[in-house]
Homo-oligomer: A and B are copies of this chain.
């Protein structure tokens, strides 16, 4: 280890430096909230200072954890900056979890202060587990809400208004914890992940350099208008609010997600760049059939799960510049992004489909490998578990050393996803380790089958799960949801898959014997297929 020296004008990598007003007297962008509130970046900086001052006046101290329960509002963005910058830990609560899970995560995080939208007050009444709160700050009217004994109440706008528009932020170590949130795990209690100022700072630059230098499509620049359609509680909305703020672009915060509101904001505010999971995109495209909104040219990054080819085709038909990325709660957010080259973008849309649905290449500073069970890397074209090294991976699960050791075994962060690299260096995800169907000693990808089924006319979505089989170990069961008013026939699905097998896309043993038409499929709190619940329902097992 060669020792270093702390230079004159040392500059710690802190979230409060991710601000365009730090070095510019004028920033053209504005921040727009679905409520109609609009403010400039200098006003935003003032709002952050007021919030930090207000929390301090309430008794919040550096080192405290502050939990936030809100829709995607301007307040959330203010919390993204004010809470870490005053030396506290921002805990973004997944409000789609069950009441008991929400209470579990707040309790486990050690939060003593909660900032909440009135909609979520019912989650915070007295009850089990008892929360160890000192204060609840509600944004608006608390109505009939009775805080638990000993808990103070305050109103967000009132205390911010009473605070000074400037705040003396403390010196912080860039490795101080800045944020945390809980993964909606498929088994057991949610697990907490956490990130330092330094990690979020470097993530912001890694994502921005990759998005900024994309040569042919999916580029993000200072003239873009940004709106999140991934909740801010979910991996900091993939870190994009920090990226957009640093760049000083116009930003739009849509509040509670309603497809009509989202489409209206896209149209009226001129949104050009957004991101979401596949299910949100599907709802949006369904709404476009009703409400004529031109989505052509909009850049839309899809992550948080596979982008089915059928859905990607539909998006391309609308002129959307759709592309994929990959990351997990444990990786701060982004690890790979898929950008097409100039040549690829010029290809017919059908040829672009398989490229646009890949998670793509590791972004700058991220090392991604596929590894065999013995942890040796697998070569391009061969499946393995996806493992990571990069500057923005969670150091572990909060207060769970055993799970942290398991996550970090061998010095790489383990994704639990199975994937392989194409020859051009782009990653494909073939399945979750837990979801892959192990049949006759081979791995059969549930995602690939789902993607093929999604391309059959009249299919909205599908799930393929493993059924125990005495001969083969496991066999696939396909569950298919038809589009509205569509009479779907199991034979059509089977023919399509048999054709795919004949064409060599899947092995012959990949055609499921069992295909069922169902009304709907269980989803997790973040809108992904809940394979655990689906298996419980249709197979009666928890794998």
Show the binding face of A for B, using Cβ within 8 Å: 1-9, 11, 13, 17, 22-26, 62-63, 87, 170-177, 196, 198-199, 202, 205, 208-209, 211-216, 220-223, 246-247, 342, 361-368, 380, 388-391, 393-396, 404, 408, 411-413, 421, 423-425
Contact = CB atoms under 8 A, between A and B. Distances in A.
Given A172-B2, A215-B223, A380 B411 contact: no
A531 B488 CA distance: 84
Contacts of A198: 4
18 contacts: A2-B172, A3-B173, A4-B177, A5-B175, A5-B177, A5-B196, A8-B408, A9-B389, A9-B390, A9-B395, A9-B408, A11-B391, A22-B367, A23-B368, A24-B361, A208-B213, A212-B212, A214-B221
A222 B424 CA distance: 16
Given A8-B408, A208-B209, A211-B212, 4 more contacts: A7-B199, A8-B394, A8-B396, A213-B222
Closest 6 CB pairs of A and B: A4-B175, A212-B212, A7-B395, A4-B173, A11-B391, A215-B223
A247 B17 CA distance: 24
Nearest to A27: B425
A413 B25 CA distance: 20
Contact of A24 (B393, B423, B425): B425
A9 B22 CA distance: 30
Contacts of A362: 23-24
Given A209-B209, A212-B209, A172 B6 contact: no
A396 B6 CA distance: 11
A455 to B, nearest CB: 29
Given A8-B396, A214-B222, A365 B175 contact: no
A361 B380 CA distance: 44
Nearest to A24: B425
Nearest to A249: B213
B213 A2 contact: no
Contacts of A175: 4-7
Contacts of A246: 364
B212 A395 contact: no
A491 B160 CA distance: 66
Given A221-B215, A223-B215, A411 B4 contact: no
A173 B421 CA distance: 33
A7 B411 CA distance: 11
B1 A173 contact: yes
Contacts of A4: 173-177, 196, 198
Given A9-B413, A222-B215, A2 B205 contact: no
A452 B22 CA distance: 34
A3 B176 contact: yes
A272 to B, nearest CB: 11
Contact of A205 (B11, B205, B214, B389): B205
Q: Which of A7, A173, A211 has the most CB of B within 10 A?
A: A7
Contacts of A424: 26
A265 B348 CA distance: 35
B365 A2 contact: no
Contacts of A389: 9, 11
A9 B393 contact: yes
A411 to B, nearest CB: 7
Given A209-B212, A408-B9, A173 B425 contact: no
A95 to B, nearest CB: 27
Nearest to A391: B11
Nearest to A198: B4
A223 B219 CA distance: 13
Contacts of A247: 213
B213 A220 contact: yes
A391 to B, nearest CB: 4
A103 to B, nearest CB: 27
A197 to B, nearest CB: 8
Q: Which of A23, A196, A215, A246 has the most CB of B within 10 A?
A: A23
Contacts of A2: 62-63, 87, 170, 172-173, 176
Contacts of A22: 365, 367
A355 to B, nearest CB: 15
Contacts of A408: 8-9
A368 B394 CA distance: 34
A194 to B, nearest CB: 9
A362 B170 CA distance: 25
Contacts of A208: 209, 212-213
Contacts of A222: 213-215
Contacts of A171: 1
A395 B209 contact: no
A406 to B, nearest CB: 12
